[in-house]
Structure 1
Amino acid sequence: MFRDPFILDPNKVVLCEVVDSNCVPYGNNQRSQCAKVMEAVREFQPWFGMEQEYTLFGLDGRPFGWPPLVGFPAIANCAVGIDKVYGRDICICHYKACLYAGVRICGTNAEALASQWEFQVGPCEGIEMGDDLWMARYILHRVCEDFGVVASLDPKPIEVDVGTAGCHANFSTKEMRSPGGLQYIKDAIRRLSKRHSQHLRVYDAHNGADNMSRLNSQLSTSSYNEFSTAIASRAVSVRIPGHVSRMGCGYFEDRRPAANCDPYTVTRALVETCLLETPGKDDDVQ
């Protein structure tokens, strides 16, 4: 339950699971199983942070704000200026609405395309990650209604190779965050390397070919077919941030999830692989 940022206190916005008439989880409700897995690993204190990228479009189907006679504005990460970014007021309104609601939003920035933005949610423990990200997405779409624009979570929002949209997942446990935690981070990455294709099947449950076209080893993405890891690199499947390597503890970043991923399936898969099993190359992820 969250504070309603649109009609204000004492009203609430409630996130509900979808169940059938017998109260059995229904359809694409992935929260129920995720909650069970998170309860099983509570002692590890799993923390997550997810980086949600999105692209703004007008009702005419064109990226919001793009001049009609311009093909593709220049790529400019974290840019400033009316000729380089479009929709900052939308981004800030969304950020303020999430803060009011109680969503654990912790940052925002302009992305590569002129009408593309990102917000970060976390750190959240266990099931809270999926709950807070779903609510942040809901609030984003509600805010966009007021501005007459559409927020797209399409991993490949524009056909040509000028930008993609991901939802990078940062993950840690209390051991990883403690002094000497780098060894636990490396062990988790080794486990992930053995289940690359299985994780992509989970991450692709709702977007399949779109994420395959996104992960093409270009534009700061890794290969869809091969697992890779490195320190501070953006062109790998899973990276160890530079400051984590220097400190010897912290978290790792799984850069494979697409913008329209289901956070419940992503966080559940990370926990199952890194904490609950000793995976073999052919083991399956639920």
Structure 2
Amino acid sequence: MAQILAPSTQWQMRISKSSPNASPITSNMWSSLLWKQNKKVSPTSSAKFRVMAIKSDNSIINRLEGLLNLDITPFTDKIIAEYIWIGGTGIDVRSKSRTISKPVEHPSELPKWNYDGSSTGQAPGDDSEVILYPQAIFKDPFRGGNNILVICDSYTPQGEPIPTNKRHRAAEIFSNPKVQAEVPWYGIEQEYTLLQTNVKWPLGWPVGGYPGPQGPYYCSAGADKSFGRDISDAHYKACLYAGINISGTNGEVMPGQWEYQVGPSVGIEAGDHIWASRYILERITEQAGVVLSLDPKPIEGDWNGAGCHTNYSTKSMREDGGFEVIKKAILNLSLRHKDHISAYGEGNERRLTGKHETASINTFSWGVANRGCSIRVGRDTEKNGKGYLEDRRPASNMDPYVVTSLLAETTLLWEPTLEAEALAAQKLALKV
């Protein structure tokens, strides 16, 4: 992951009232994805990704794009708000749109809304209404103007958080005075895999076959090594436009797999920004005709899995003497290893095998500059005596609200017994 220097100064997204002349994601952005033909479309190549469309001056596509790219701001004060929430699987993002009478700058200005929870696996059919509470807003890179994306969490009509609402519990932890005093920073490395639509096989791989072994694909360039770069770049720009604190991106070890980093973010902002970035990535891959997978081990065998490494520090870790604080945090994390593993993503046991830059799911370990450990500490942190730790256990499909708040809870609020602490320190060779 790229080095994290300082967090965003914005704990809550605020939307400018200025409006561009058109939606930032237009056909021009996709020019390198489009294969122009003379009213002729050939089958999708299995070896190289292309989005194909018929282009002509009077085509239906052009007329539709013209309407999609309409700038409505000169004609109305009304905006479109896309309400986004997490569905019943805990990883699926859902959304629907509504008109708001004027531009807004804060989620408190937005009305609550509702949806049919029986259709998302979150409520029974005879009592299906679930209430959406707006929590964070971002500029909409698809509609442009003053239009917004709204991250919401879900409640019963009586005001109780539903079981899949992990944000509510995270917000309670981050509002604890002990946690707030330590100003927790997060940098999250989101890995994902791009799949061909009809065969659900990685982008750039021959259908039913395999590319050459891993090695030349990581951070690579070239048509025979890098597959899906335009999607990664489009996502990068869309996140920057939206106000998401994205800090970098790169091609990953397995061909057809990519990573982007979000952070440094403070507290609950980390989860809001990851979920907004995932929604934008889903929309971009939808437009490109590619399937997004957050499976932690999309291809079995000698291929890297997909993780969501989480870099974490507190105020005390970042100050002089912080390395000792980091080691105390590692001790606490070792004692709650099973609790963390159970909350770090479905199917993670297929990824955490002790191979392909992972530690075994059953054994906690830590090390300096060791990517085969549960917790990695960077060389700069060791050298400077302060910095951050990297939790390498979370899977690509983890819930960022759960992971970030659990790290804060374990390292700042949870206290082990003296006996357990002493045994763990001896086992891990930690002097704290």
Q: Does the alignment reach a TM-score above 0.5?
A: yes
Aligned mates of 1:255, 1:68 — CA distance in 2: 31
The answer to whether residue 155 in structure 2 is matched with residue 155 in structure 1 is no
* SS of equivalent to 2:415: coil
Question: Which structure has the higher relative contact order (CA within 8 Å, separation 6+)?
Answer: 1
2:174 counterpart SS class: helix
1:42 aligns with 2:180: yes
How far apart are the structure 1 equivalents of 2:147 and 2:303? 42
Structure (1/2) with the larger strand percentage: 2
For 2:151 and 2:210, the matched residues in 1 are separated by 40
Correspondent of 1:25 among 137, 144, 161: 161
1:61 and 2:200 matched: yes
Q: Assess if the C-alpha contact under 8 Å between 1:166 and 1:256 holds in 2.
A: yes
Deviation at 1:24, TM superposition (A): 1.4
How many Å apart are 1:269 and its aligned residue?
1.0
Equivalence map 1:198-213=2 (5 Å): 198-204=339-345, 207=346, 210-213=347-350
For 2:170, the aligned partner's letter is C
Quick one: distance in 2 between partners of 1:143 and 1:128?
A: 22
* Bigger proportion of residues as helix: 1
What do residues 8-54 of structure 1 show as CA deviations (whole Å, max 9, x unaligned)? Answer: 02100000111111121113110001001001011110111110000
Write the deviation string for residues 45-98 of structure 1: whole angstroms up to 9, x where unpaired: 011111000000011211112234742333132122110110000000000000
TM-score by length of 1: 0.94
Report what 1:216 is aligned to: 353
Which ranges of structure 1 fall in alignment gaps of 5 or more residues?
Answer: none
Equivalence map 1:76-155=2 (5 Å): 76-155=217-296
Which of the residues 140, 143, 156 maps onto 1:7? 143
What SS does the aligned partner of 2:411 have? helix
Structure 2 counterpart of 1:143, one-letter code: I
RMSD of equivalent CA atoms: 1.4
Equivalent position of 1:243 in the other structure: 380
Partner AA of 2:184 in structure 1 = P
| Residue 405 (structure 2) aligned to one of 268, 271, 274 | 268
Q: 1:243 to 1:68 in 2, by over 3 A?
A: same
Which deviations, in whole Å up to 9, do the C-alpha atoms of 1:128-165 show, x marking residues without a partner?
01000000000000010111001100001112231200
Instruction: Return the alpha-carbon distance in structure 2 between the equivalents of residues 27 and 202 of structure 1.
Output: 14
What SS does structure 2 have at the residue aligned with 1:14? strand
Which whole-Å CA distance do the structure 2 matches of 1:68 and 1:271 have between them? Answer: 44
- Radius of gyration: which is bigger? 2
**What amino acid is the match of 1:142?**
R
TM-score normalized by structure 2? Answer: 0.63
Aligned residue for 2:153, secondary structure, equals coil
Percentage of identical aligned residues: 48
Mind listing any 5+ residue stretches in structure 2 that lack a counterpart?
1-136, 422-432
- Amino acid of the structure 1 residue aligned with 2:356: L
CA–CA separation in structure 2 for the residues paired with 1:265 and 1:184: 22
Structure 1 contact 73–113 (Cα < 8 Å) conserved: no
